[in-house]
Structure 1
Amino acid sequence: MELTNMIIAPINALMATTSHKYSPLGNDEPTSASGGRDTTGQHHRNRRALKFTMAAAALLTLGYVTTLFLRGAHATTNPCDTPEDGFQCNAATTHSWGQYSPFFSVPSELDASVPAGCHLTFAQILSRHGARDPTASKTASYNASIVKIHNTVTAYGAGYEFIKDYQYTLGADQLTALGQEQMVNSGIKFYNRYKALASKSLPFVRASGQDRVVQSAQNFTQGLNQALLADRKCRAPANTTMLVIPEAAGVNNTMNHNLCTAFESGKYSTVGSTAQAAFAAVFTTPIAARLATNLPGMTFSASAVVSFMDLCPFNTVASPTGALSPFCGLFTPAEWADYDYYQTLGKWYGYGPGNPLGPTQGVGYVNELIARLTRTPVNDSTSTNSTLDGSAATFPLERALYADFSHDNDMTGVLGALGVYAATKPLSTAARQSPAETGGYAASWTVPFGARIYVEKMVCGGGGSAEEMVRVLVNDRVVPLVGCNADALGRCALGKFVDSLAFARAGGLWSQCFV
């Protein structure tokens, strides 16, 4: 796609002048063949990885008016994916696919609108990329499974007949048309929510350097500009800039975990897969028996059941029309709830609070957030890039709006470092727990395709001395802040909010990364 080449080509040219060769690395593939985290070429054994110079990142001029391939050529025509609601069709199923769920607006117990008498002074989005094809290794595995079924199965049970003629055509790693559309709609929604701030200052945009993340950032700005032009009914505004930070071994990038050895390849790298395996043994057994009955000649292990279920979300988000894949109807709503919980365990114990070093992976980003909220220099010795963060060109502090783009695993670590789910008890690996039982934590509720975390700062009342308040929304759900005397609206005073982030300000458990 031409837009991606425009972004990536300058990075490759710059990278050729440095000691680090740029190579896009996967971030959504949590495990290796041995069950641990796949970290080939991703970690650096030195406690302080080599600081990335200005030549190793690209600060790119980003024209807001671009050509974009979208389903039907319009960003808001699909009723399943609107700026207001996200992917809502077949919600009982599509909202239960863990991190493979298309974005949807999560119901909020607290009013998510700006409170009366308050006005926003700051907003930041941390977003996952839009819906994509499977990663390269998984797409090869899925294809091999379909070939094996075609070569082995002797009959197809009722409802399974479509598999006889099914041909695997999914690609690898790239955004789907739906994924592009999700990000355009995200930009529209961001503008509509923060138009008072956007009318004064366009957001400063950063993207972690994998193709689908950079494309997602571009699609987002396309949508933001579309909404801005519709609102202002005027010509396009001036260009803005996007900072792209490559995902390469040894590169300090707070939007891409890859530096902490104990987390990437040490004893904590298999915590998530171990938790998932325990629960898979609980919920996949009856499914495996049913699949074997309807696809005679095949046997299904626990992991094979999960992979077979994966074909539902990936075929759905790749559909040109957004139609629900027939693979989805092979499983009951309860089984999809179990699948969602299986994926939730992978995030919680693999990258989140359930992993001893999970939240530490998000410390650098949280310290950058503190710098932006307080307009003070970044104070961090973990994954931050001192060269980039020390420059006003690549880390401005005076903006009212910021937009960062990353992956689900990195966002999970950031949520852990923020402590917003600190009140959630360790998740059971023996029985499914609902989001109501986990304090709102679920992979589908936190890091679906197109996920977004908003951090807002606001001033309330007419007095000029009123302290700013901070609030966090995860996919439109207000998450009441913990440890800072949150008010009835889930907000904390800025000073107390920063104080509550002592774990991040102290560097988390970064010293344990290289033991």
Structure 2
Amino acid sequence: MRGLYEDRPARAKGLSALPSNSKRVAIIGIMAAFTVLLSISLCLSRVSGSPASSLSQGSCNTVDEGYQCFSGVSHLWGQYSPYFSVDDQSASLSETIPDQCQITFAQVLSRHGARYPTEKKSKKYAKLIKDIQRNATSFPGKFAFLKSYNYSLGADDLTTFGENQLVDSGVKFYQRYESLAGHIVPFVRASGSDRVIASGEKFIEGFQKAKLGDGHNQPAPIVNVVISEDEGFNNTLDHSLCTSFENSEVEDKAEDKFMDVFTPSLIKRLEENLPGVTFSKKEAIYLMDMCSYDTVALTSDGHRISPFCSLFSHDEWVQYDYLQSLKKYYGYGAGNPLGPAQGIGFANELIARLSQSPVRDHTSTNRTLDSNPATFPLNATLYADFTHDNTMLSVFFALGLYNSTEPLSQTTAQTTEETGGYSAAWAVPFGARAYFEMMQCSGEKEPLVRVLVNDRVIPLQGCDADKHGRCKRDDFIKGLSFVRSGGNWGECFA
């Protein structure tokens, strides 16, 4: 097989001699490569009366601040919110690089961009719309559009809006780490889903666009490694190996409990406005899901919002947003006993990169890949990995970023102040990105580590964090005892 740093290395489905403790070899390959904040009342009034409300293009979706269009609604879509900068929306520390400090290492862990619903969900949404149109005896006011609405959303793939999100993300990564990016080519990996690979490619497009515009003519990065999502493959960018976790019902039970509180009044109102239609709890939520999915499919920049959005009140969106946060917390975070364990493998890879030492892990890492400098170099300085929201959340909890978050209430919606800064929209929206950066500062013998999630500095825990939320590298690594010990991964197969 040709070298992985040449222009077009081929994918390989497997190698003949694998260590016995590895799963089958992953697919290795290369794929070619000013904010407007609107109140909720304004947003909804613009929606009511027309198939889709519009804003002037280019004014509210930017590289620096992300998606600020219709923010009274769009920031309350949980993991279906498009990325927006959280730096100005919380009491977080400044995201700027402190004076007298120089970045020496940067790793981005990114979710894919906005997508169409999964194939399974898309079929359910289409059926719901058809059932509404068949059974409703009237379509009053804001519900009028449903009478003739044509469900035409695709499935699984990125929307054009989602592709553009990742182009912008690549530009932003280059601009933030220009001191390194100007003369270094990042090492890029992607989990093997088409939308994740495409996200990596679009990120590269934006990164290289910014780099060429800055007068640097190095070759563009490439997706150096694609890790298969097929059953049985060790993959730190997509959970699937932990049997007990995959069969867990913790998330479903928490979701049902909160929906029992949230949805009765919602269902009553929907059925009053759509006489003849009977909604289940999940169907009422499906109708809310359509707001985000329809919006990110309407235009390439998100300047129009779906009419589905105006069918619901601000309080209902607050409840919906919390429901999504609750599901992620009890599905992939600390609310699930094995949730954080799904992020151990990537966290140990991060430790290896920060310390430039071999990966030490017995969970989801692929030893064939991680022991090969061609597929897991330790001296790349800039790294970009592309994954899914669920795995990202497990990584965050494995690293202890939300250790101050108490178990989420399953009966009452909590604010981000009450959840210690945790929410699905703040942590893993479409196009989410976490920056793990290391810097050398004047007067410090040891480099310092800092983590930003969607531009919000997360003060590190488990180590002696300074006023900027940073810890010394060795102290940070030492504090990751859960990760370094393998956590409770052994329970996966009990």
Answer yes or no: is 1:301 the counterpart of 2:273: no
Q: Out of 290, 303, 325, which is 2:269 matched to?
A: 290
Q: Give the aligned residue type for 1:354.
A: G
Match of 1:475 in 2: 454
Amino acid at match of 1:84: D
Deviations 1:101-158 (CA, angstroms, capped at 9, x unpaired): 0010013520100001111100000000000000001000000111111111101122
2:386 corresponds to which letter in structure 1?
A: F
Q: Does 1:391 align with 2:372?
A: yes
Match of 2:68 in 1: 88
Instruction: Note closer, same or farther for the CA distance 1:395–1:50 as it changes in structure 2 (3 Å cut).
Output: closer
Q: How does 1:7-46 map to 2 (within 5 A)?
A: 11=11, 14-15=12-13
Match of 1:172 among 141, 149, 155: 155
C-alpha deviations, 1:237-261, integer Å up to 9, x for none? 3554521011011100000100001
Query: Which deviates more, 482-491 or 177-186?
Result: 482-491
Tell whether the 8 Å contact from 2:188 to 2:385 is kept in structure 1 after alignment: yes
1:364 aligns to 2:345 (yes or no): yes
Opposite residue 84 of structure 2, the aligned amino acid is F
- The corresponding residue for 2:244 is 262
- Please give the per-residue CA displacement for 1:211-265, whole angstroms capped at 9, x wherever unaligned: 0000000000000000001111x54635545210110111000001000010012
Question: Does 2:107 align with 1:124?
Answer: yes
Secondary structure of 2:305's aligned partner: coil
Q: Tell me which amino acid in the other structure corresponds to 1:145.
A: L
SS at match of 1:60: coil
Inter-CA distance 140–112: structure 2 relative to 1 (3 Å threshold): same
SS at match of 1:402: strand
1:252 partner amino acid: N
Q: Which residue of 2 aligns with 1:352?
A: 333
> Following superposition of structure 1 onto structure 2, how do residues 175-186 of structure 1 map, counting pairs within 5 Å?
175-186=158-169
Pair 61,148 (structure 1): closer, same or farther in 2 beyond 3 Å: closer
Distance 1:409 1:241 in 2: 21
Percent identity between the two aligned chains:
50
Q: Which residue of 1 aligns with 2:176?
A: 193
The answer for unaligned runs of 5 or more in structure 1 is 1-6, 20-47, 64-76
Q: Specify which of 319, 322, 325 is matched with residue 338 of structure 1.
A: 319
Letter of the 1:246 counterpart:
S
* DSSP 3-state at the match of 1:256: coil
Amino acid at match of 1:476: D
Cross-structure match for 1:72: none
- Any conservation in 2 of the 1:57–1:244 contact (CA below 8 Å)? yes
Identify if the C-alpha distance between structure 1 residues 97 and 50 changes in structure 2 by more than 3 Å, giving closer, same or farther. same
**Helix, strand or coil for the counterpart of 1:311?**
helix
Q: What is the correspondence of 1:39-438 to structure 2 with a 5 Å cutoff?
A: 50-53=22-25, 56-60=26-30, 62-63=32-33, 78-107=58-87, 108=90, 109-232=92-215, 235=217, 237=219, 240-265=222-247, 269-320=248-299, 322=302, 323-438=304-419
CA shift, 1:51, in A, is 2.6
**Distance of 1:201 and 1:59 partners within structure 2:** 21
Q: Is the 8 A contact 1:279 1:429 kept in 2?
A: yes
CA deviations on 1:1-49 (whole Å, 9 max, x unpaired) are xxxxxx99954xx438889xxxxxxxxxxxxxxxxxxxxxxxxxxxx87
Cα distance in 2 between the residues matched to 1:326 and 1:205: 38
Distance 1:468 1:402 in 2: 18
Equivalent residue letter for 2:13: M
Q: Given that residues 81 and 182 in structure 1 are in contact (C-alpha distance below 8 angstroms), is that contact kept between their aligned partners in structure 2?
A: no
Give 1:160 shift.
0.7
Structure 1 residues 381 and 174: alpha-carbon distance in aligned structure 2, compared to 1, 3 A threshold: same
Q: Could you tell me which amino acid in structure 1 is paired with residue 439 of structure 2?
A: M
1:49 and 1:256 map into 2 onto residues whose CA distance is: 19
Deviations for 1:266-296, whole angstroms, at most 9, x for unmatched residues? xxx1111111111111111111011001100
TM superposition shift of 1:200: 2.6
What amino acid does structure 1 have at the position aligned with 2:245? F
Distance 1:374 1:17 in 2: 29
Give the equivalent residue in structure 2 for 1:69: none
Residue 202 of structure 1: how far off its partner (Å) = 1.2
Aligned residues of 2:400 and 2:461 also touching (Cα < 8 A): yes
**SS, match of residue 122 in structure 1:** strand
> Residue 239 and residue 351 in structure 1: after superposition, are their counterparts in 2 closer, same or farther (change >3 A)?
closer
- 2:50 is matched with none
* Separation of aligned partners in 1, 2:221 and 2:418: 46
**Residue of structure 1 equivalent to 2:45:** none
Summarize the Cα distance change of 1:280–1:50 in structure 2 as closer, same or farther, 3 Å threshold.
Answer: same
8 Å Cα contact 1:49-1:251 kept in structure 2: no
Amino acid at match of 2:147: K
Distance 1:235-1:199 versus aligned 2 partners, 3 A rule? closer
Q: RMSD between aligned alpha carbons?
A: 2.0
CA contact (8 A) 2:156 2:195 kept: yes
Counterpart Cα distance in 1 of 2:203 and 2:265: 42
Contact 2:108/2:433 (<8 A) preserved: yes
The alpha-carbon deviation at position 61 of structure 1 amounts to 6.5
**Residue deviations 1:277-330 (CA, integer Å, cap 9, x gap):** 111111111110110011000111211111110110100011125211001001
Report the counterpart of residue 490 of structure 1 in structure 2: 469
- Structure 2 segments unaligned to the other structure (5+ residues): 1-6, 34-56
**What TM-score does the superposition give when structure 2 sets the normalisation length?**
0.90
Q: Sort the Cα spacing of 1:112 and 1:248 in 2 relative to 1 into closer, same or farther, 3 A.
A: same
User: Where does residue 30 of structure 1 map in the other structure?
Assistant: none
Task: String of CA shifts for 1:426-463, please: whole Å, max 9, x gaps.
Answer: 000110001111111000000000000110101111x5
**Contact 1:80 1:87 (C-alpha < 8 Å) held by counterparts:** yes
Which amino acid in the other structure matches residue 59 of structure 1? G
Give the aligned residue type for 2:456.
R
Residue 42 of structure 1 corresponds to: none
Alignment coverage as a number of residue pairs: 459
Tell me how far apart the structure 1 counterparts of residues 223 and 97 of structure 2 sit (CA, whole Å): 28
Shift of 1:81: 2.4
Task: Kindly indicate whether the alpha-carbon contact (under 8 Å) linking 1:50 and 1:250 is maintained by their aligned counterparts in 2.
Answer: no
Could you state the TM-score of these two structures normalised by the residue count of structure 1?
A: 0.86
**How far apart are 1:168 and its partner, in Å?**
0.3
